[in-house]
Chain A
Amino acid sequence: MSTAASVPYTVERATRASRVAAVLGAALVVLAVSLPWWGTNVAMRSVVEISCYLVFASMWNLLAGYGGLVSIGQQGFLGLGGYFLFIFAQKMGVNPFVSVPLAALVAAAISVPTAQFVFRLQGGYFAVGTWVVAEVFRLIFANVSALGGGSGTSLTAMVGIPKATREMITYWMALAIVVFAVGLVYGLLRSRFGLALTAIRDSERAAESQGIDVARVKLIVYVLAAFGAGLAGALYYLSNLRISPDVAFSVNWTAFSIFIVLIGGIGTIEGPILGALLFWLLNNYLSDYGSWYLIGLGLMAIVVIIKWPRGIWGSLSHRFGWQLFPVQRTLRLDKE
């Protein structure tokens, strides 16, 4: 052992692709920030929409793909984010843009007591349990007549703000939220916490025997995912201006995010980004087919999980060794 310790080594945490990607990513962000000056309103609205899918799907990926906590109730926190945006902005007179992070914080705060219930269940039971909780939220808001009950309500607090200003700030907020969410997941997974999280996914018992506080790690990831879902929901309804419980708490949100994550590549940071872009394209060009479009999405999800569990990015990364967001540690022995 003593000889092994004297061998010089370095721990590499970046790849060449990741260095290139960091530069290109920064350039892309600068380009995106300037979009309002050279792009169309339609383009801005599309970016906001893609951002909502991307953030929501990334959070589902963090929870299920990295944490092994397969939830079908994340729409509960998306809906809470949307509704608390309306409560802050509409009922309490808070600036609508400031209300977005506040609403997400409330969603995260509500997820803490919720965890006490759903963590009594495991695996598939956990999944259905989270769905029950989302239904509880939906039914509660459907009974609040001050928020329009079952038919919902409109965000009129935005009326005083000129349309161009409103769209620009919403757009920049969407960008900031995407950078924050992707950065959060990336930073988290590169840290000790990320190691603990993936250890739990791969073997809960082995992780616990190594001294990881499993319950605490799971709770943190659950609360963070709720915060992210709440952000996505608040952002979505900031640009949509109309909310109703059946849409805000619809299980379709989670269905779409599962599709996005699986097709893009589960357990990768790049996957949900690719998946969200692809989903937005499909949605734009095929959603006129209505139920046949949804049947196609369902079929694709089934085929992908059985025949192609790596998804697009997982396959590329496996084939070419690409890693834009490297989270692993590579030990390299230095030559004397």
Chain B
Amino acid sequence: MLNWIDTILQGIILGGLYALFALGQSLILGVMRLTNVAHGDFIILGSFAGYALISGIPGTPLTGLGLNPVITMLILLPIAASFGYGLQRGVLNGTLGADPMPSLVVTFGLSIIIQNLLLELFSADPRSISALGVETKSLALGENIHIGILPLIIFVLALAATALMEWLFHRTDLGRAFRATADDIDTVRLMGVNHRHVYALATAIAFALIGLAGMLQGLRTVIQPADGPGLLLYAFEAVIIGGLGSFWGTFAGGVLLGVAQSIGFRFDPGWGILIGHVVFLVMLMIRPSGFFPKTR
């Protein structure tokens, strides 16, 4: 019994991380219906960027700054956001439209490019970012239940990021521009809003979230260049289970996915991810519009 409580608790904590993976995806889907197939690869790119900022690129004269992870994150997030803004204005805006093919092919191409560039620069060796000892500390909740401090921090950050996104989307002028652009782009343009700029701002925020998620992924586990597609699928599943347009829905979706995987892993290490996918497909059958759909 205690084991089951532990399994579910670990699943919820893991789900927080998945929610963090998914928030950026949720924003981009909600504002511009763009399916970014390279989403997971950008998260891993963020992890490696954090790694390179601290430890440099192995085999090159670049040595890295050696700063602590929190300061590194403060440097990384603006870089990620600017990158996102530039990517949207320079490439992705040109692929939007009724036909999903251009945006899918472009982001799929980016996915292959990122994976292979990382492979060239960092090799396939697993790497991780040191959390300066925090990764080994844990909190005892009763006799056999322990929660790692680092996963707990990640969970709290995910909650905070979700609350922030919900506030931004529904309570600020920028959020109103996002919602209006999502609802009716022609009217928005008549009102003098530059929709290309609005899209790019949404992507900039999504990439700040991607940078955060990447950094945290590098801190909590080992990262490899080919990890991206897996993360994309978890993020996508969390968004669809939660319902489009709702960040709390995305959070709930991430948690459900985390719990499903955690229970699966308890039965057999080969089943965790499979059970997660199966739960997603079942949810698709019984609630195709997700838990809390806000937009169609």
- Among A7-15, A116-124, A220-228, the stretch that binds chain B is A116-124
- Pair A291/B100 contact, Cβ less than 8 Å: no
Q: Which of A256-275 contact B (CB under 8 A)?
A: 258, 262, 266
- Would A291 and B94 be within 8 Å (CB), given that A136-B277, A136-B278, A143-B274 are in contact? no
- Pair B274/A128 contact, Cβ less than 8 Å: no
Give the 5 A-B CB pairs with smallest separation, nearest first.
A124-B35, A298-B112, A291-B116, A123-B100, A302-B109
A231 close to B (CB within 8 Å): no
Residues from chain A with Cβ under 8 Å of B95 in the complex: 305-306
Q: Which of A302-330 contact B (CB under 8 A)?
A: 302, 305-306, 309
Known: A150-B270, A251-B229, A258-B105. 15 other contacts (CB 8 A): A70-B104, A72-B37, A72-B104, A121-B284, A123-B35, A124-B104, A125-B240, A132-B237, A132-B277, A136-B274, A255-B108, A262-B105, A295-B116, A298-B113, A305-B109
> For the complex, what is the distance from the CA of A150 to the CA of B34, rounded to whole Å?
34
B54 close to A (CB within 8 Å): no
A294 close to B (CB within 8 Å): yes
- Pair A139/B273 contact, Cβ less than 8 Å: yes
Residues from chain A with Cβ under 8 Å of B277 in the complex: 132, 135-136, 139
Most A C-beta atoms less than 10 A away, residue of B95, B119, B281: B281
Contact sample, A vs B, 10 pairs, CB 8 Å cutoff: A72-B37, A121-B240, A131-B233, A132-B237, A132-B281, A135-B233, A139-B271, A140-B274, A143-B271, A295-B120
- Would A72 and B108 be within 8 Å (CB), given that A136-B274, A298-B113 are in contact? yes
- Pair A128/B110 contact, Cβ less than 8 Å: no
Looking across the interface, which residue of chain A has its beta carbon closest to that of B111?
A: A298
For chain A, the count of residues having a C-beta within 8 Å of the partner chain is 42
B106 close to A (CB within 8 Å): yes
Q: Which of B218-253 contact A (CB under 8 A)?
A: 229, 232-233, 236-237, 240
- Pair B284/A294 contact, Cβ less than 8 Å: no
> For the complex, what is the distance from the CA of A304 to the CA of B153, rounded to whole Å?
44
- Pair B37/A120 contact, Cβ less than 8 Å: no
Residues from chain A with Cβ under 8 Å of B199 in the complex: none
> For the complex, what is the distance from the CA of A121 to the CA of B233, rounded to whole Å?
14
- Would A139 and B281 be within 8 Å (CB), given that A120-B288, A132-B233, A292-B120 are in contact? no
Q: Is the interface of A mostly helix, strand, loop or mixed?
A: helix
Partner of B274, one of A129, A139, A309: A139
Q: Which of A53-105 contact B (CB under 8 A)?
A: 64, 68, 70, 72
Residues from chain A with Cβ under 8 Å of B291 in the complex: none
> For the complex, what is the distance from the CA of A143 to the CA of B269, rounded to whole Å?
10
A297 close to B (CB within 8 Å): yes
> For the complex, what is the distance from the CA of A127 to the CA of B99, rounded to whole Å?
12
Residues from chain B with Cβ under 8 Å of A309 in the complex: 102
B10 close to A (CB within 8 Å): no
B285 close to A (CB within 8 Å): yes
Looking across the interface, which residue of chain B has its beta carbon closest to that of A122?
A: B100
A196 close to B (CB within 8 Å): no
Contact bitstring B34-59, A, C-beta under 8 A = 1, else 0: 11010000000000000000000000
A133 close to B (CB within 8 Å): yes
Residues from chain A with Cβ under 8 Å of B116 in the complex: 291-292, 294-295, 298
- Pair B103/A124 contact, Cβ less than 8 Å: yes
Residues from chain B with Cβ under 8 Å of A143 in the complex: 268, 270-271, 274
- Pair A306/B281 contact, Cβ less than 8 Å: no
Looking across the interface, which residue of chain A has its beta carbon closest to that of B274?
A: A139
Most B C-beta atoms less than 10 A away, residue of A116, A131, A255, A295: A295
Q: Which of B129-186 contact A (CB under 8 A)?
A: none
